[in-house]
Amino acid sequence: MVVTSDYKVIGSRPIRHDGIDKVTGRAKYGADQQIAGLLHAKVLRSPHAHARIIKIDVSAALAHPGVKGVVTGPDMPNVTGEVAVVEGGEAPGVSLNYYRQNILALDKVLYKGHPVAAVAATSVHIAEEALDLIKVEYEVLPYVLTAPEAMKDDAPILLEDLTTKVLGQDTGRVSNVASQLLLKLGDPDKAFEDAEVVVEREFNTSTVHQGYLEPHTATVLWDSNDEVTVWCSSQGPFYVRNATAALLGISQSKVKVIPMEIGGGFGGKITVYLEPIAGVLSKLTGAAVKMTMTRAEVLESTGPTSGCYIKLKVGATQSGTIVAAKAHLAFEAGAYPGSPVGGAARCMLSPYNIEHLQVDGYDVVVNKPKVAAYRAPGAPEAAYAMESVVDEICEIISMDPLEFRILNAAQDGDRRADGVLHTSIGNGAVLDAAKNSDHYKSELSGPNRGRGIATGFWGNAGLQSSCSVNVNADGTVNLVSGSVDIGGSRVALAMQAAEVLGIAAEDVHPMVADTNAIGFTAITGGSRTAFATGWAAYEAANDVISQMKERAALLWETTADNVEFSDGIFCRSNSAEQTFTFKQLAGRVLETGSPITGNGTVSPKGVGVSFGHHIVDVEVDPETGKVDILRYTAIQDVGKAIHPSYVEGQLQGGAVQGIGWALNEEYFYNDKGVMTNSSLLDYRMPTSLDLPMIDTILVENSNPGHPFGVRGVAELPLVPPLGALANAIHNAVGVRMYDLPMNPGRILRALWTQKDAQ
């Protein structure tokens, strides 16, 4: 496969096709869906972190005027088995029994906000009134909120049927540890004997949310033909179809999902929460049912990412070579198994060439909402620990932190912790770009100011994608895909098709189809959409070219072998006079037979990994502990930037989310296990007032595993910020921060401790 940089469309910056609709308000989001006879549903949620449900009385709610139906956990179909869910490039099986219990609790509630019952009524207000009429008797139980607490022998057990799996083998032991994994290379214990410097530290991170602006919403109609139509805000309509069908106990072919525009997701809009409840209520009432969460419900009852505990030990020589590393990772899964500890274990050490290492990972259930993916799931927390320890080693041996990273940088042929060999990676190129950047070479002066750096790694999923391209008589084409557009994927797909067809990006009209109108397409996530669905668009466009060569041959009374195509021009071999532009030939397609539709389906393997490096300058107020960010630069290997503006935007957005995670964001729980900051007023995300311009440097180290050299972009920018900011704070005021968030209170306490020790 030949990759060239001589492109006409790729690398340009056309206006996104859906831009006008979105800025004018014409775009239709999930909450905009209306249908005749629509009912509105609301959910009653647990006030307790952990409790047994003794009795639920819904009679008063059912008698309330305007209420059309009430459901509780036992009203959900009794389903067994697993359903595949794709989160962060993984496709693990999720227990339908646990999934069902998370949607509507059965015998226990496992977190504050756990759904207990749902009411459908003629208005939202009546549904809310009816919730107050439902009487629930609870037996309140002890709770645990962190992985270390939940792993203790005397910890309260959340799931009596959960037994620990160690290295894939079921031990039969009931505990809150769902599983344990082990990654190991070489002999780290022996290698530590050769280390001249050993640093061992413990880290704790808090639960944080993806912070998408649009709440979860779904409208479902179960019609008289037993066919279910779903309108929803989701990153994966096919996954919504599969999960909803499985949870309702019906065939996938009976469910059609119509994806609406989506107001952010970042991994948090893969899991199904509302669709099965709305489906059961729709079947019960015979009407379409609409459900939309409040912001408090989103924060308390949908999937944030894990809080975690990490213990990391790294050994190095005085000359700066890492000789061994050992890590213990305990990640909160929330109420049901499935934390991103696997991603953390794979990514934590991957920027470095370490021959001897061991990573033990634990997936632990706690009394918090079941976690969901969040942009490079598991990697930000893991990188925070590793990059902090690396900087501490550099301080001990008096070595420049960037030179240390260059010296130890993983290169082609080096083996990752999970056993995979690095191939065609741009780690070194990214570090060189950082070293040569204006930011890194600039001076930083002034009291209480510091510069921090950090490196990060993430892969990207391949997975399945489908696309079709229909040729119009005016020379434009319609591009149909199954990938929901979150961050500009419409224009990215259109540009790749346009490059093949030799036409302008504006002449490609992209649209997102429902699950009945296009072949299976995996989620918009896993850094895969521009890569994999773009590849499907590439294949569909090439299919169009192949068919149009045949039509040109008919018009020229020759064979398709004698027709060549280049730069949007069809020509007859050895005949400069006989040519068609793409538009000219498109106008004559119907003279030669049927309309032309090109199709592309892909399931790429060996998709290409990415590395990023971030540089940040901060100023810390020693009187208040407040951190001001003075300058920030994100550098990343992007393979080939299809639309540079949107690639830059992904780097900037990820960096900003990482800044929030590092400095302010956390789920704050009181002594009853109740989240007390479940609003955007109290859950502190960064605003434009908190940030400088985020500068970006795009390193284009072409991916040989893609027709245009594309690599995944969107998730990696969240990986380095946590560690970079921790290192910058240390360099500003001399304290190392081992707990997130590094908010003013924690920084002040660290400064006071430092002062007391002097």
**How far is 707 from 704, CA to CA, in rounded Å?**
7
**How far is 726 from 240, CA to CA, in rounded Å?**
38
Q: 488 and 613 share a domain?
A: no
Q: Does residue 147 fall inside a structural domain? A: no
Q: 432 and 455 share a domain?
A: yes
CATH number, residue 725: 3.30.365.10
- pLDDT bracket for residue 3 (50, 70, 90): very low
Q: At a CB cut-off of 8 Å and minimum separation 6, what does 651 contact? A: 612, 634, 636, 694, 696, 698, 713, 717
Q: Kindly tell me the sign of the dihedral angle through the C-alpha atoms of 168, 173, 174, 175.
A: negative
pLDDT tens digits, 394-419: 999 999 999 999 999 999 999 999 99
Q: 621 and 478 share a domain?
A: no
Q: How far apart are the two ends of the chain, measured CA to CA in Å? A: 63
Residue 459 sits at the vertex; the CA angle it makes with 14 and 456, to the nearest 5 degrees, is 95
Q: 529 and 656 share a domain?
A: no
Q: Does residue 233 fall inside a structural domain? A: yes
pLDDT of 89 reads 45
Q: What is the residue type of 299? A: L
Residue 413 structural domain: 308-460+608-757
* φ, ψ (nearest 5 deg) of residue 657: -65, -40
Distances from the Cα of 696 to the Cα of 25, 641, 752, angstroms:
30, 13, 36
Q: H helices of 46-158, where? A: 59-63, 96-103, 124-131, 147-150
Q: Which of 543, 567, 602 is the last residue of a domain?
A: 602
Q: Does residue 11 fall inside a structural domain? A: no
Token readout for 69 is: 């139906």
pLDDT tens digits, 211-245: 999 999 999 999 999 999 999 999 999 999 999 99
- pLDDT bracket for residue 201 (50, 70, 90): very high
Report long-range pairs for 90-99 (Cβ below 8 Å, ≥24 apart): 90/342, 90/343, 91/463, 92/338, 94/338, 95/336, 95/337, 96/246, 96/247, 98/159, 98/336, 98/337, 99/243, 99/247, 99/272, 99/336
Q: Does residue 247 fall inside a structural domain? A: yes
pLDDT tens digits, 59-82: 999 999 999 999 999 999 999 888
Q: How many domains does the chain have?
A: 3
Token readout for 114 is: 């756990």
Q: 708 and 631 share a domain?
A: yes
Q: Does residue 723 fall inside a structural domain? A: yes
pLDDT tens digits, 503-521: 999 999 999 999 999 999 9
Q: Does residue 718 fall inside a structural domain? A: yes
Q: 258 and 135 share a domain?
A: yes
**How far is 59 from 330, CA to CA, in rounded Å?**
44
> Is the pLDDT reported for residue 86 higher than 80?
no
Q: 449 and 315 share a domain?
A: yes
> Is the pLDDT reported for residue 120 higher than 70?
yes
pTM (whole model) above 0.85: yes
pLDDT of 76 reads 97
Q: 568 and 617 share a domain?
A: no
Q: 363 and 433 share a domain?
A: yes
- What does pLDDT average to over the chain? 96
Share above pLDDT 90 across residues of the chain, in percent, rounded to a whole number: 95
Q: 589 and 616 share a domain?
A: no
Q: Does residue 420 fall inside a structural domain? A: yes
pLDDT tens digits, 592-619: 999 999 999 999 987 889 999 999 999 9
